[in-house]
């Protein structure tokens, strides 16, 4: 295998229905380099990389690989040139019904063509060996659909390792990962880098950029606005270039009077993932439930919302016990959930932004089953403005929005409902630093309106920033509670990782 030298994109332009997404972008990545591609939600990062990986074609501009002009008209072309992409939407890149081994070896299997004899034993061994190289102990016969997001991602990386990848694009790979999982991924990336592979790394988490990247390019509104060596600049320089203004990360917590208890959860359990969970949340209060990835936060939120059934326990909203056998019951009972896996659970990707934003409102807007189009569109306009959702039109298919803007839709659709209790499961995942503050402000605003907020997160700084009370979850149990101002990051980490338990009577 010859060592790759450099991939250049020059003057790339692309628009969708006449709306420019890329306005003449230059970008280069060299073999053995990790190049960060940064920018606010909707800046054009994924679009630029989709052109490189053959999912879209540019209207203008050229691509040169190792000094030879490259024509990339399809994903197949890109792969033949050694370009591979681990997409933002990992879940759509795997075939859920197929085994891990089949997913890892998929390109190999399809390259052999149908009708050829496939040596499954050998394929499974090779898939296992590749996963082992990544330090991933995933049973190769398991169905891909049963894997966690972190595992799915490792399967995708293993897949491209079985090809002769020269350039690898990671589009927000760490968003669904715990810190430990992210560290493991960084070690994998270091290895790819040593092998001379050129890596493009997209993320909204700035600290990791300085941990693993050699160069940084910042995009804003479809243009490249800065390319520098990471060693020569600071996080503040990056944020400034991204947003075009000076910015201090802040946690606005509007003053809210804390009133009566709105949500009372008593002894809720499901298997060993959620064990005997009891807590309450009051009007005007933001309760953060923090824990490491896998602590059971998402499972808990799904039980409270009726997406899964609890084995035991009770849920009371405003003094009335609600039986949540499905989400419709929860909504009727006054509970709203912004789920973590937005693409599969939070939004309908094939429906318009406007329609998604009015889904929970259908009851309010519809008379005799008929939705007033005007009300729907007024509501959509208002929410789009409030959350700064970047869309060329309220009628655009939600699947065409950038990842972070889809997340905003998944939050926005609940804003005008009558829910008393709001559950947010990792709402800031994949949103840019400016939009994060918008989300905190909106959550603070809901509290100020007298709602009870349950904020589930593995980002301890966020919990410390916005919560009135922090409850630590570990291994399916609530293990410790702190009032506002009491907890430090170190303490939260200690309890979240199972330490400090003895202290508690």
Ligand X SMILES: Nc1ncnc2c1ncn2[C@@H]1O[C@H](COP(=O)(O)OP(=O)(O)OP(=O)(O)O)[C@@H](O)[C@H]1O
Residue number with CB closer to ligand X (46 or 358): 46
> Binding to Mg ion (CB under 5 A): which residues in 83-142?
none
**For 140, what's the count of Cα atoms within 13 Å in the CB-facing half-sphere?**
20
Indicate whether 43 belongs to the interface with ligand X (CB under 6 A).
yes
Q: How far is the CB of 397 from ligand X (least distance, A)?
A: 7
Q: How far is the CB of 479 from Mg ion (least distance, A)?
A: 36
Residue 174 binding partner per list Mg ion, ligand X, none, with a CB distance cut-off of 5 to 8 Å that depends on partner kind:
none
The binder of ligand X chosen from 284, 403, 412, 476 (CB under 6 A): 403
The binder of ligand X chosen from 4, 31, 42, 412 (CB under 6 A): 42
Indicate whether 401 belongs to the interface with ligand X (CB under 6 A).
yes
Alpha carbon 23 to chain centroid, angstroms: 26
Q: How far is the CB of 169 from ligand X (least distance, A)?
A: 12
Indicate whether 173 belongs to the interface with ligand X (CB under 6 A).
no
Indicate whether 53 belongs to the interface with ligand X (CB under 6 A).
no
Residue 205 binding partner per list Mg ion, ligand X, none, with a CB distance cut-off of 5 to 8 Å that depends on partner kind:
none
E strand or H helix at 64: strand 60-65
Indicate whether 44 belongs to the interface with ligand X (CB under 6 A).
yes
Indicate whether 342 belongs to the interface with ligand X (CB under 6 A).
no
> Binding to Mg ion (CB under 5 A): which residues in 1-60?
46
Taking the C-alpha atoms of residue 434 and residue 240, their distance in angstroms, rounded to an integer, is 11
Taking the C-alpha atoms of residue 85 and residue 79, their distance in angstroms, rounded to an integer, is 9
Residue number with CB closer to Mg ion (334 or 404): 404
Residue number with CB closer to ligand X (15 or 269): 15
Size of the site for ligand X (CB under 6 A): 18
The binder of ligand X chosen from 352, 356, 402, 428 (CB under 6 A): 402
The binder of ligand X chosen from 31, 34, 35, 41 (CB under 6 A): 41
> Binding to Mg ion (CB under 5 A): which residues in 345-404?
402-403
Size of the site for Mg ion (CB under 5 A): 3
Sheet with 477-483: strands ordered across: 335-338, 421-425, 452-457, 286-290, 469-474, 477-483
Taking the C-alpha atoms of residue 87 and residue 474, their distance in angstroms, rounded to an integer, is 30
The binder of ligand X chosen from 390, 434, 450, 497 (CB under 6 A): 390
State in Å, rounded, how far the first CA of the chain is from the last one. Answer: 62
Indicate whether 82 belongs to the interface with ligand X (CB under 6 A).
no
The b/e string for 226-236 (b: 16+ C-beta within 10 A; e otherwise) is: beeebeebeee
Q: Give the pairing type, strands 167-171 and 6-16.
A: unpaired
Q: Which part of the chain contacts ligand X (CB under 6 A), choosing from 136-144, 342-350, 374-382, 394-402?
A: 394-402
Report phi then psi at 431, rounded to 5: -100, 150
All residues at 6 or more sequence positions from 87 whose CB lies less than 8 Å from its CB, including other chains: 93, 171
**Which of 143, 74, 53, 149 lies closest to 103 in space, CA to CA?**
143
Sign of the CA dihedral with 237 first, then 242, 245, and 248 last? negative
E strand or H helix at 367: strand 366-367
Q: Which part of the chain contacts ligand X (CB under 6 A), choosing from 35-43, 150-158, 337-345, 450-458?
A: 35-43
The binder of ligand X chosen from 16, 92, 276, 393 (CB under 6 A): 16
Indicate whether 39 belongs to the interface with ligand X (CB under 6 A).
yes
Q: Which part of the chain contacts ligand X (CB under 6 A), choosing from 25-33, 118-126, 178-186, 400-408?
A: 400-408
Indicate whether 59 belongs to the interface with ligand X (CB under 6 A).
no
Contact 421/315 with Cβ under 8 angstroms? no
Contact 490/460 with Cβ under 8 angstroms? no
Q: How far is the CB of 153 from ligand X (least distance, A)?
A: 16
Taking the C-alpha atoms of residue 199 and residue 33, their distance in angstroms, rounded to an integer, is 6
Within 10 Å of residue 466's Cβ, how many Cβ atoms? 24
Contact 142/100 with Cβ under 8 angstroms? yes
Indicate whether 169 belongs to the interface with ligand X (CB under 6 A).
no
Residues lying near ligand X in the complex (CB under 6 A): 16, 21, 39, 41-47, 390-391, 400-405
| Binding positions for Mg ion, rule: CB under 5 A | 46, 402-403
């Amino acid at each position: 295998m010859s060592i790759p030298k450099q991939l250049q994109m020059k003057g790339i332009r692309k628009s969708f229905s006449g709306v420019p997404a890329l306005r003449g972008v230059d970008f280069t990545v060299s073999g053995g380099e990790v190049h960060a591609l940064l920018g606010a939600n909707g800046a054009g990062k994924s679009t630029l990389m989709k052109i490189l990986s053959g999912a879209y074609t540019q209207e203008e501009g050229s691509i040169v690989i190792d000094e030879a002009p490259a024509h990339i008209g399809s994903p197949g072309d890109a792969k033949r040139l050694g370009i591979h992409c681990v997409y933002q939407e990992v879940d759509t890149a795997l075939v859920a019904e197929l085994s891990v081994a089949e997913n890892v070896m998929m390109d190999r299997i399809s390259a052999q063509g149908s009708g050829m004899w496939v040596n499954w034993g050998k394929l499974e061994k090779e898939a296992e060996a590749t996963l082992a190289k990544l330090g991933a102990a995933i049973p190769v016969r398991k169905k891909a659909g049963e894997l966690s997001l972190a595992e799915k991602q490792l399967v995708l990386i293993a897949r491209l390792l079985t090809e002769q990848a020269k350039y690898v694009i990671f589009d927000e790979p760490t968003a669904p990962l715990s810190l430990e999982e992210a560290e493991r991924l960084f070690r994998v990336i270091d290895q790819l880098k040593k092998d001379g592979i050129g890596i493009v790394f997209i993320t909204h988490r700035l600290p990791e950029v300085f941990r693993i990247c050699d160069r940084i390019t910042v995009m804003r509104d479809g243009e490249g606005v800065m390319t520098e060596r990471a060693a020569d600049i600071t996080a503040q320089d990056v944020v400034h270039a991204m947003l075009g203004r000076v910015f201090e990360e802040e946690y606005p917590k509007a003053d809210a009077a804390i009133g009566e208890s709105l949500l009372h959860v008593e002894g809720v359990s499901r298997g060993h993932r959620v064990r005997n969970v009891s807590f309450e949340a009051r009007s005007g209060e933001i309760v953060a439930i923090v824990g490491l990835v896998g602590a059971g936060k998402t499972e808990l939120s799904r039980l409270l919302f009726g997406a899964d059934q609890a084995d035991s326990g009770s849920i009371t909203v405003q003094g009335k016990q609600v039986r949540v056998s499905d989400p419709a019951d929860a909504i009727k009972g006054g509970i709203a959930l912004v789920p973590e896996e937005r693409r599969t659970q939070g939004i309908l990707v094939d429906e318009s932004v406007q329609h998604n934003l009015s889904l929970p409102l259908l009851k309010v807007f519809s008379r005799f089953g008929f939705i007033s189009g005007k009300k729907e569109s007024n509501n959509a306009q208002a929410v789009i403005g409030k959350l700064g959702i970047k869309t060329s039109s309220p009628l655009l298919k939600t699947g065409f929005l950038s990842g972070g803007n889809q997340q905003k839709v998944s939050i926005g659709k609940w804003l005008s409902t009558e829910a008393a209790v709001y559950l947010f499961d990792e709402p800031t995942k994949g949103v840019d630093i400016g939009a994060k503050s918008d989300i905190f402000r909106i959550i603070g605003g809901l509290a100020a309106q007298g709602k009870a907020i349950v904020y589930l997160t593995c980002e301890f700084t966020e919990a410390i920033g916005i919560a009135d009370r922090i409850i630590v979850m570990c291994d399916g149990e609530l293990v410790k509670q702190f009032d506002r101002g009491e907890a430090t990051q170190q303490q939260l980490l200690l309890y979240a990782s199972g330490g400090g338990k003895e202290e508690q009577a």
